[in-house]
Amino acid sequence: MEARVRKILAGLDAPVDALLLANAIEPHLDQSFFYVFDVPSGLFEGSVALGRPDGSLEVFASPLETESALDAAKHDRSVHVTSVDRDLTDPELRKALAGAKTVGLHFAELTHAWYVRLHDLLPDVTFVDASKAIRKARVTKDATEIAHLRRAAEIGSTVGRQIPSLLKRGVTELEVASEIEYRMHRAGASGRSFSTIVGFGPHGAEPHFTPGATRLEPGVSIVCDFGAFYQRYASDITRSFRFGPRDEEMKRVHETVVEAQAAALATIRPGVPAREVHLAAARVIDASPWKGRLIHGVGHSIGLAVHDGWGYGPKVEDPLEVGMAFTVEPGIYLPGKGGVRIEDDIVVTEKGFEFLSTAPREYLEVPA
């Protein structure tokens, strides 16, 4: 993990004596703790990771995860693990940071309670915000991270191919969502990377719809947005279908979204401003009868979180870099009727990009 600690610290505006990443209680866990300490199992509530300028990492682990922490540390000599009960962490931290003048904190994720605790514990230390450096470090992935993302996407893609077989007359949105999650677990996922979205008919026009008891009937379009965790890394895939009799407008909508995604993908290469990916998709949709019905940015980074701290839209100037992993997900949404979104996970390469997700994205009518 030495390289990841150094990567973060190199992105700070000024040197610090240490980088401190602290977890509270779930769901207030800082995923950057798991970025610098690559341990596949455990919550590590109340645990702290302390990174040094030489790249070394000291982890104060909860007794609940000590075995997992020690096992992970065996593979990296730069990591030292101490098992500390929550009530005993303060004296250990005071000792570890003796003489430190400046400490970087992840303001974007640190709870206020932790900040007050650290302020009282280390009154002579100046705390600086390392959030920007952490985000920049995490937005480009190393080979291990890409391998985990690829496997997460493979799991999602495997289940994506199976969704048409789940679409039966009378099945509810919740039943389809539950089956998707069950099958991802069966395929090797450690969990869902977010709450699965299944929207029938008009519900598909709401990108973040929560599935309910609506039953599937012939003559509706369907949007399924789902993803898997593998070794803490997320996938995020959306596929859209038609159940029963064809609707010519929705078929053309689907074909337009496929075209928009292809246009966006064609722009991806190192150095291109991220907004160009969004604008390429938007130009296709705005030249269609559904101008203005792309109502969100075309993508976001993926990693230890399904929305991994960075996204792009029409004004994002950040240049694409080799190793960036993000979604490409144009959509068209018709209130009262339905929607189509097609979302894939990709990673930027030296020559362009590589698909991580591989499920078919073409228009498909499922017999009712």
For Cα atoms 341, 345, 349, give the angle at the middle one, nearest 5 degrees: 135
Residue 170: CB partners within 8 Å, gap ≥ 6?
Answer: 215, 216, 217
Token readout for 308 is: 């991994």
Determine the pLDDT at residue 84: 83
Residue range 86-121, pLDDT digits in tens: 767 899 999 999 999 999 999 999 999 999 999 999
Residue range 72-85, pLDDT digits in tens: 898 888 899 988 87
The pTM assigned to this predicted structure is: 0.95
- What average pLDDT does range 130-137 have in this prediction? 97
Determine the pLDDT at residue 80: 92
Residue range 184-228, pLDDT digits in tens: 999 999 999 999 999 999 999 999 999 999 999 999 999 999 999
Is the pLDDT at 314 greater than 80, yes or no? yes
Is the pLDDT at 280 greater than 90, yes or no? yes
Q: How far apart are CA 218 and CA 171, in angstroms?
A: 11
For strand 57-61 and strand 79-83, is the pairing parallel, antiparallel, or unpaired?
A: parallel
Q: Is the dihedral of CA 174, 256, 293, 346 positive or negative?
A: positive
Q: What domains, with CATH codes, occur in the chain? A: 2-138 (3.40.350.10), 143-366 (3.90.230.10)
What is the three-class DSSP state of 328? strand
